[in-house]
Chain A
Amino acid sequence: MLASTLLMDGGAPNFGWTFYAPLSTTYAPPSVTYFIFAVHLMGMSSIMGSINIIATIMNMRAPGMTYMKMPMFVWTWFITAFLLIAVMPVLAGVVTMMLFDIHFGTSFFSAAGGGDPVLFQHVFWFFGHPEVYIMILPAFGVVSEVLPTFARKPLFGYSSMVYATASIAFLSFIVWAHHMYTVGMPIAGELFFMYATMLIAVPTGVKVFNWVTTMFKGSMTFETPMLFAIAFIILFTIGGLSGVMLSLAPLDFQYHDTYFVVAHFHYVLVQGALFAIYCGVYYWLPKWTGHMYDETLAKTHFWMTFIGVNTAFFPMHFVGLAGMPRRIPDYSLQFADYNMLSTIGAFITGFSQLIFVVVVIKCIKSGKKATDQVWDGAQGLEWTVASPAPYHTFAVPPQVR
């Protein structure tokens, strides 16, 4: 639906993923209505998928599988599904208000009619902040599965991991305005959102500590999923620390809408969420295809990506602090060298993903036959069935412990 707007008169929606009003209402191309429709469809499918996940987890666990025995990946998805059900309807609400402003003469976001564009930002970020955690929580789950496998030790502090994930999910609802420190909030608001945001560092710190401690004195091997998992921990922590810097309202007045923010969210979403996706794909690929992937090629993919993303995104911290703004078509001359470095890094990253495509195709078509267990230290029910998993896995529900 959204891709079809590329071919429409007036062009595709051109107001960025945050689609702030009035850019997305008064000044939007006509295709904005398609965008709203697409967001509604996407929201409905997310909500229905989440209801499915929650109902499955609550009702269809194997006998003996108590909540506190569930794999971390299942736990993170369980919590993510609740977040989705809570915030996707709010997104649906905000695009509906846009639709009414554009076509039915209401003034939710139009100052001329008694509305307020800042209201848009509040409603949007009430959805938007939980949304970024929706992207990262399953990544936490993947890493929490992979680390114990390759460190050959159980996950350190399992229950604290569950509670930390739940606290992060709860806190995500009360920090949205840290995306908009500079709109002119009262000082009480700035302080509240600043302290609430800083609080998120605590459960996140617990998780990083647990991951590191899981590896401590483990008999580690460094297959590709493990490399991605370790890189995730290091680079996500860098992103987390720049996040703590951004959470401080007075400092944010300098960082707001600069490349520092761009560096921050790439470190948490590319080196964070994307690395965890690769980590999970390499981890479960033998289970999906029944073949082992090409380890040499996969490691090449990892190292190229690792070098590429850091070359691309690390210099953005510096240009951001030096004052280069986001979302500009051209930049001042003094930022040219760092931007060239970022461009080189981006090309390395982009082309390296072709290696990934080759690895996956090779793995599907050929490769060493995978055993049921696949990884030496893998725990969990999926490793007790054949690789690839048969169409019907458990004729009798397995008894857990």
Chain B
Amino acid sequence: MPTASTRNIALRLGAVAVGMFGFGFALVPIYDVMCKVLGVSRETIKTQAQIAPGSASADASRTVTVQFLANNDGGMSWEFRPHQFEMRVNPGSMNNTTYYVRNPAHRAMIAQAIPSVSPAEAAPYLHKTECFCFRQQPLAAGDEREMPLQFVIDQSLPADIRTITLSYTLFDVTANAATMDQRVGLGN
């Protein structure tokens, strides 16, 4: 026969359990906030300020190796690879390269590339003036394309960084893209 105070304790502890269940879900926004506060770049795209081309002169005395990687998200069928895997560039100079994509599927698809820079400390010094990752990339069935990438390495890049790896992951966003018909011209 439970006494009033036993029932009281049980109810309070039950409330704690329910509260902790909620706390588990509260960890999701807390995690996002912590990542922002501590500077973990979950979205590298936002940390890269864009500068006007030609605003800095090239520093010929220093070269930095920039490596290019291409990954597909699970389930993404496109062929996706960099035109060149590595470039040696001078900080301050404008550099151009391309990524190759081909849509082998029997339907038109839209892709979005998400960039990631390693080491993370180099991310703020890699300025992209033009990038295929700035917008969604529609491709009709079987089409291929060279996608442009134009970037400047900031001259204030710390001296100990000699190699920067720029990696893109290609996501299939066909289902989310509302304006697909206009872009690819389905039915033509």
Contacts and interface: CB of A to CB of B under 8 A. Distances in A.
B47 to A, nearest CB: 14
Contacts of B27: 90, 93, 119, 122-123, 126
A59 B12 CA distance: 14
A184 interface: yes
Q: Is the interface of A mostly helix, strand, loop or mixed?
A: helix
B187 interface: no
Interface string A87-131: 111111110110000000000100110001001001100100000
A116 B171 contact: no
A8 interface: no
Interface residues of A, number: 34
A93 B25 contact: yes
A50 interface: yes
Interface residues of B, number: 29
Contacts of B74: 22, 26, 112
Contact of B31 (A26, A58, A93, A122): A122
B3 A86 contact: no
B17 A89 contact: yes
Contacts of A68: none
Interface of A: 22, 26, 47, 50-51, 54-55, 58-59, 85-94, 96-97, 108, 111-112, 116, 119, 122-123, 126, 184-186, 188-189
17 contacts: A51-B13, A51-B14, A59-B3, A59-B5, A85-B16, A87-B20, A88-B20, A89-B19, A89-B23, A90-B23, A93-B21, A93-B23, A122-B31, A123-B28, A186-B39, A188-B38, A189-B38
Given A54-B13, A92-B21, 16 more contacts: A47-B17, A51-B9, A51-B14, A58-B9, A85-B20, A86-B20, A90-B20, A91-B24, A93-B21, A93-B22, A111-B169, A116-B42, A119-B27, A123-B27, A184-B40, A184-B120
